[in-house]
Copies of this chain bind each other. A is one copy, B any other.
Amino acid sequence: MSAVKNGVTQTSAASHAPVIGGTRYKEVKNGILAALSAKEWKGGEAIPSEKKLSERFGVSIGTLRKAIDELVADNILVRHQGLGTFVAQHQRDRYFFRFFRVVRQDGDKTYPTVTHMSFARAKASREVAAALGIEPGARVFSFVNRLALHGETVMIDSITVAEERFAGLTEAALRERPSTLYNFYQDAFHINVVGTEERLRVVTANETDAELLDVPQGTPLLEVRRIAYSYHQEPVELRISHVNTARYEYVGPSASHEEPI
C-alpha cells in the first residue's frame, strides 16, 4: 500500500507554513522572516534548533537548512556550531564595517569617534517621506553626528527616522547609547537594519558643513545618501553624510556576492 515511494508530494500545501511562497523552503524562509518581523525572537537571541523548526514547519532538516542558508547569506541570521542559530546583532566588532565605509587613503580602518551635535523633532518633507515610506508631514526625529577618525573630523551625518517607528526616542537616550547606533535601534526599538541603499555625488560645503568640518565654505565634499532597511525592505532610516575626502576615502562595493542584473 501507500503509493508514496519517497518523501512527500512536493506540490501538496504546507499547512504549517504561515506564509506562502513558490517552494517549501521559500515558505519556511518567509515563515521565519514573519516570526522575526513579529518580534518573536529579538536581536542577539537564539532561534529554535533546526530539529524543532523542521517539526514546526513540517519539513525535513535539509529543507529547513536551505531556508536558513539563505537567511544567513542575507546576514539576517548567524549560525554558531554547537551553540545554535541567532538573530544577527549589530556590534562594534561585527557588521560595523559593512555599514561604515570610510577609511584612510592608506587603507587604515578605524572606529570613528562620534560627537552628538543636535536633535530635533520635525515634519517630514515630501522627499524625506518618500525615502522613509511615510506620509508627508508625518513626525520625524532628526539628529546630527560629527565623526572623527584618527583624531581628525572627517564627516557629518544628518540622520532622520520616523517618530511612529521610534516612539519615545530622546536626545538623552541617543547620547547615552552604549554601542553603535544600529545596535541601539535593535535594543531600544527592536528594529533590525539588514541592508542599505546608497547614492553618492559630489557637493560643496555649506556654512554648517564648513564650520563642523573646519574647511572653507565651498570645499568639495562627498555626499552619501543612505536609506537603511529592516526586514521586507522596510525603510527605517535616512542618512545624509558629507565626507571630507582630503585624506580619507569611501570603500565601494566588491561586485562579487552581489545581487543580479
Neighbour of A255 across the interface among B73, B99, B249, B256, CB < 8 A: B99
- Least CB distance, A28 to chain B, in whole angstroms: 17
Beta-carbon contacts under 8 Å, A182-225 to B:
194-202, 204, 220-222, 224
* Chain B residues with CB under 8 A of A255: 98-99, 195-196, 198
- B261 close to A259 (CB less than 8 A): no
Neighbour of A252 across the interface among B73, B105, B199, CB < 8 A: B199
Contact count band on A:
35 or more
The verdict on A254 contacting chain B, using a C-beta distance below 8 Å, is yes
- B224 close to A204 (CB less than 8 A): no
* Chain B residues with CB under 8 A of A95: 260-261
Neighbour of A250 across the interface among B101, B195, B199, CB < 8 A: B199
The verdict on A158 contacting chain B, using a C-beta distance below 8 Å, is no
A62 nearest in chain B by CB position:
B62
Q: Are A249 and B201 CB-contacts (below 8 A) given A255-B195, A256-B195, A257-B257?
A: yes
The verdict on A176 contacting chain B, using a C-beta distance below 8 Å, is no
Neighbour of A222 across the interface among B74, B194, B222, B259, CB < 8 A: B222
The verdict on A108 contacting chain B, using a C-beta distance below 8 Å, is no
